[in-house]
Amino acid sequence: MKSILIPLASQIDNRGAKATLEKYKNFLKDIYQDSTPIITNSEDISRFENKIREADILIAFSLTGGTRRFIVRLAEFKKPILILGYTKQNAFASAIGAYTILKRKNLPVLLNSTNEEDLVNKLKKHIRVLETYLKLKGQRILLIGIEKKLLENETINVNNLKSLLNVDPIFMTLEEFIDVFNKVHPNEHVVEFFKRYTRDQNLIDELTKASRVYTALKEAMNKYNASAVGIRCFEFIMKTCVTPCIALSTLLSDGKIAGCEADLQAIITMMILNYTTGEVPFMGNIEELKEDEIALAHCTVSKGFADKILLKSHFETGKSVSIAGEIKAGTKLTFGRISPDFDSLIIGSGTVTEGSPWSDEFCRTQLRIQVDGNAKKLIDNPVGNHLVAIKGYHLDAIKELLDLLGISYTTL
């Protein structure tokens, strides 16, 4: 995505705007791809209108006081705005004034001053949040083996998702997908990659069949121009004796969002966490829950999340092949889940205390997490049985994105 730097000043010569811009322009070069000359009146904005419209994100750099009206005018371009305020010449005061007006209008805007420590990295994070805001809008999500009516019966408000993010899921019947699956060939690259993680010839044989699910999912996503996918796993396994675990893991490694059990809430949460941070998400069942600890488990995980993987049969059915991932103890995680009406998200952080499978009564990948906060909030205000986790501490960036989207949040 393209960002444009738009320097703003009430006067150029008398208030040192040129010198301030020269001081920062080279320093900030990694956060923008284009720029305008210093703008001092509304006519200048009109003069560079085409250049501004070509950008995805506007960086309004307030160099002096008297620039509030220019920043507010930039909002007419209907693009996310990052306001950067110089901390002298009353520039930051103008920046705050404009920020207040635009926030009250619920427009996508972020604010930063030039005296922040580690300024460039903070601005890069702001730009990524704004890029995520744009990327989330209008995504095409393919759900396989589930109908809109079933989601509504489970109190999932698909219409509200459309209003908030302009996301309207596409529904594909399981029969249609199985027809695709039956016609495709195995994926040799998937088989070669995963067979190194087992010596069990039966599992290696099952890999060949499981790799066809990956091929079929890619074909289905291409057909519907979908950027994310979810599949009703259990019904597919019962009809084909093949698991989607390998396919979903590979799609996640490819940088695609892929969710088990056609869980739309989890898929949206995966998008929010992944697009904001670049970290590969893991979706797991809540298996144990104490005030300061939770355990998550599922039969798939991406190599981008796990530190080590092994292949086993699927937990609930004993069929086909699934993945037992291992995560190093001490790994910091951020995790959460969006509500069924998609207007709030519960989010928390914690540290892995046990990351190798310890029980034969859970799905294959198992994590025990020491929670920073009160995990019982997951029951007090329930949002569902799956949580989505990513590596690292990312609460601030995610909260910033949720503010832009108008989605409220609760922290554990």
Beta bridge partners of 120: none
- Ramachandran region, residue 387 (left: φ > 0; alpha: ψ -120 to 50; beta: rest): beta
Provide the total of helices (H) and of strands (E) in the chain, helices listed first. Answer: 16, 18
The CATH classification number of 141-411 equals: 3.20.14
pLDDT at 319: 83
- φ, ψ for residue 253 (rounded to 5)? -65, -30
Assign domain 3-136 to its CATH architecture.
Answer: 3-Layer(aba) Sandwich (3.40)
Q: How far apart are the C-alpha atoms of 400 and 7, rounded to whole Å? A: 24
- Angle at 205 (CA atoms; ends 201, 208), nearest 5 degrees: 145
pLDDT tens by residue, 340-398: 999 999 999 999 999 998 888 888 899 999 999 999 999 988 898 999 999 999 999 99
What is the residue type of 375? Answer: A
SS3 196: helix
Tell me: pLDDT of 330 over 90: yes
Question: What are the tokens at 20?
Answer: 């301030």
pLDDT at 315: 86
Confidence grade of residue 267 (pLDDT, cut at 50, 70, 90): very high
Whether 144 and 232 have beta carbons less than 8 Å apart is answered as yes
Domain ranges of the chain: 3-136, 141-411
Confidence grade of residue 39 (pLDDT, cut at 50, 70, 90): very high
